[in-house]
């Protein structure tokens, strides 16, 4: 079962192109640190600025480096249903274990449109699907009732919920069932999400602090919330700092401080300002990372 700390991996760039050795080194670092899964080509991976060829290549690199030691949940979201289907097909062909499919952004589909979108992907590609609800980025919110309907589709295995509404965990469980895997999409509330019955977090912070995130998740899943709180207290400033400017620029800067990759991002994102860099460094120091 998918669970625990699942980093939404950054995609390192160097001189405008994907830094393949750095990316595979990041994957190796995550597995060595105890991360429980991997998400290439999600929002944090700047998927919307990757070409189709780059997107597929990053998934292939992740699958190759992971070598079956952790499940790979490949980003396959688009506001164009046909393109989302193509991404899901390519992810399966590359060897991904599942796909993460975001609610279509910009189009603002109705709830019936959302059901039709996910059903089309479900019917076209036989691979586990994790629905990604992040209305702060997509505008459209996948309602609890719609999630219950999506859970009836053969391939829909779970959800990444980034709504910050912890009450949804119980409501989703009531409509989707105990086997429906609920993952948090927000590091700051991930501990509370698991306390309500969640099974893990697709994490930005885990790019920077994979071992701490993995240990925090493991503590919550065994019911040791005292240990989990102590770890999360160390991470709390970092959770905030990694969103002090548009993500993933802060995560990339933090990783650059650790010597893992450059802090290069693609337009329309910009690298961090000096004020952001100071906040990130302070948070990393608080967490004992530097």
Show which residues are catalytic: 132, 160
Q: What is the DSSP string of 248-273?
A: THHHHHHHHHTTSS-----TT--PPP
Determine the Cα–Cα distance for residues 186 and 230; give it in Å rounded to an integer.
18
The 3-class secondary structure across 27-42, one letter per residue, is HHHHHHCCCCCEECCC
| Contacts of 87 by beta carbon, 8 Å cutoff, 6+ apart | 52, 55, 74, 75, 76, 77, 78, 99
Angle between the N-to-C axes of helices 225-241 and 249-257, in degrees from 0 to 180, rounded to the nearest 10: 100
Determine how β-strand 17-18 pairs with β-strand 13-14.
Answer: antiparallel
């Amino acid at each position: 079962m998918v669970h625990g700390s699942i980093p939404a991996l950054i995609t390192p760039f160097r001189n405008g192109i994907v830094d393949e050795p750095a990316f595979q080194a990041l994957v190796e670092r995550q597995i060595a640190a105890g991360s429980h899964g991997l998400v290439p080509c999600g929002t944090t991976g700047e998927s919307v600025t990757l070409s189709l060829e780059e997107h597929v290549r990053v998934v292939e690199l992740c699958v190759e480096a992971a070598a079956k030691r952790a499940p790979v949940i490949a980003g396959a979201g688009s506001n164009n249903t046909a393109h989302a289907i193509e991404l899901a097909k390519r992810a399966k062909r590359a060897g991904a274990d599942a796909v993460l499919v975001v609610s279509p952004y910009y189009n603002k589909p109705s709830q019936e449109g959302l059901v039709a979108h996910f059903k089309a992907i479900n019917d076209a590609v036989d691979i586990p699907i994790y629905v990604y609800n992040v209305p702060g980025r997509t505008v459209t919110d996948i309602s609890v009732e719609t999630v219950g309907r999506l859970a009836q589709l053969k391939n829909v295995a779970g959800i990444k919920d980034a709504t910050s509404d912890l009450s949804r965990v119980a409501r989703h469980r009531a409509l989707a069932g105990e086997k429906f895997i609920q993952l948090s999409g927000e590091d700051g509330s991930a501990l509370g999400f698991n306390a309500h019955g969640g099974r893990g977090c697709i994490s930005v912070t885990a790019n920077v602090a994979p071992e701490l995130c993995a240990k925090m998740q493991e503590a919550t899943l065994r019911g040791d919330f005292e240990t989990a709180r102590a770890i999360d207290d160390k991470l709390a400033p970092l959770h905030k700092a990694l969103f002090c400017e548009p993500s993933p620029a802060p995560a990339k800067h933090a990783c650059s401080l650790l010597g893992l990759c450059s802090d290069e991002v693609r337009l329309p994102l910009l690298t961090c300002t000096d004020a952001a860099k100071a906040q990130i460094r302070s948070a990393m120091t608080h967490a004992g990372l530097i």
